[in-house]
Amino acid sequence: MLAVLSPGQGSQKPGFLTPWLDLTGTEARLRWWSALAGVDLVHLGTAADADEIKDTARTQPLLVAAALLAAEHLPMHDVAVTAGHSVGELGAAALAGVLPAEAAITLAGVRGREMAAACALEPTGMAAVLGGDPDEVLAAIERHGLHPANRNGAGQIVAAGALDALDKLAAEPPAKARVIRLQVAGAFHTPYMAPAEAALAAVAAGITPADPARILLSNRDGAAVDHGRVLVQRLVRQVTAPVRWDLCMRTLADLGVTGVIELPPAGTLAGLVKRELKGPDAPEIVTLNTPDDLPAARDLIARHGAAPSHEPALPFRVVVAPSAGTFTPARDLTEGGTLRAGQVIGHVATRQGPVDVTAHDSGVLTEWLAHHDDPVAPGQPLARLDGHL
């Protein structure tokens, strides 16, 4: 099984899109997307310096555009899983079929502008805490009035909040940990971004998403999201919520992913996966940075690709497992029974505790696809619902 990953802010490098413009149609596509994003993506991807592409308002649509451009040259129909880090979730959502490319680019433009505006309201920042005991690191972050904005796994937690609090954390680091200040505009994925979340929600409300055509993992909790409306809600909420990339990687392992491709600008997520998913079952990884890397990426898909688990074209809907574990259906809920939107139909017992499984639409439960105490993987269908709900 193969996963395609879309990187987030901080992975960009000056000129990283230059070689892609040699491919037919790329420049025209970027100019069209520039009109939607409100920034010059051709200039940003080729001629802009490091300071210019560090600007949140410019960086976010640039990264989403880069991922989508590269993915156009891959046989995505053989990719089973997509996931993205932070703004990379917009690219992953488009690759999973939830959003049209134009919608993902437009949302990235709005998200970047509004998060940049929120950063200007008061002096905040972020710092990576490397090493140390995770519980002690989280306790230290909380003690200083900061937020764990990113839990990236592989011994990396990113703290975010007021600059003076970050200075105190650096002066008193947790045992066996290093604190490295990040060159970012503000405290992303914290309550400081509330104005940006509200602005993005207002725009996202006008989108009509589709349900995923393949397994799509959420930064919120690493769960497989099977309904487009739910995914859009999570994308909006993620502006102020922590990125749980550690849980996304755990889900990749639970799914048995054997191959990983990171889209450009690649390297950051591949490095985290390599450090976190070790041993004989470690996935084979390809970092796709230039068109010269396309043959290796296509070969990886040919050897590890699999058909997606979701089947949105069929005349019924399925409820899927959000996490790996053991499934227990709700008591007294039988085939032929009527379900209402939001109704809990069972739960998955996971290593972190039980996770409710809910029906996202009303309808009739026509068939259980998993039964009591069945082991399930993230994205695995659990129940079939009738008709167009």
DSSP calls for 81-134: EEEESTTHHHHHHHHTTSS-HHHHHHHHHHHHHHHHHHHTTS-EEEEEEEES-H
Task: Report which residue type is found at 124.
Answer: T
As to burial, measured by CB atoms within 10 angstroms (0-12 exposed, 13-18 middle, 19+ buried), residue 308 is buried
pTM: 0.82
pLDDT score of 388 more than 60: no
Delimit the domains of the chain by residue range.
Answer: 2-118+191-304, 121-182, 316-386
CB 359 within 8 A of CB 319: yes
Banded model confidence at residue 156, pLDDT cuts 50, 70, 90: very high
86 is catalytic: yes
At the topology level, CATH places domain 2-118+191-304 in Malonyl-Coenzyme A Acyl Carrier Protein; domain 2 (3.40.366)
Selecting from 3.50.50.60, 3.40.50.300, 3.90.550.10, 3.30.70.250, what CATH number does the domain 121-182 have? 3.30.70.250
Question: Which member of 86, 218, 309, 323 is catalytic?
Answer: 86
Report residue 34 as tokens: 């520039």
Name which residue leads in pLDDT, 362 or 45. 45
Q: Tell me the per-residue pLDDT of 271-284, one tens digit each, with 9 for 90 and over.
A: 999 999 998 989 99
Report residue 126 as tokens: 């972020």
Name which residue leads in pLDDT, 195 or 377. 195
Q: Tell me the per-residue pLDDT of 66-83, one tens digit each, with 9 for 90 and over.
A: 999 999 999 999 999 999
Question: Which member of 85, 144, 147, 189 is catalytic?
Answer: 189
State the average pLDDT for the chain.
91
Which residues share a beta bridge with 355?
A: 348
189 is catalytic: yes
Please state, in angstroms and rounded to a whole number, the distance separating the CA atoms of residues 337 and 331: 12
CATH code for residues 316-386: 2.40.50.100
Reply yes or no: is the peptide bond before residue 265 cis, omega within 30 of 0. Answer: yes
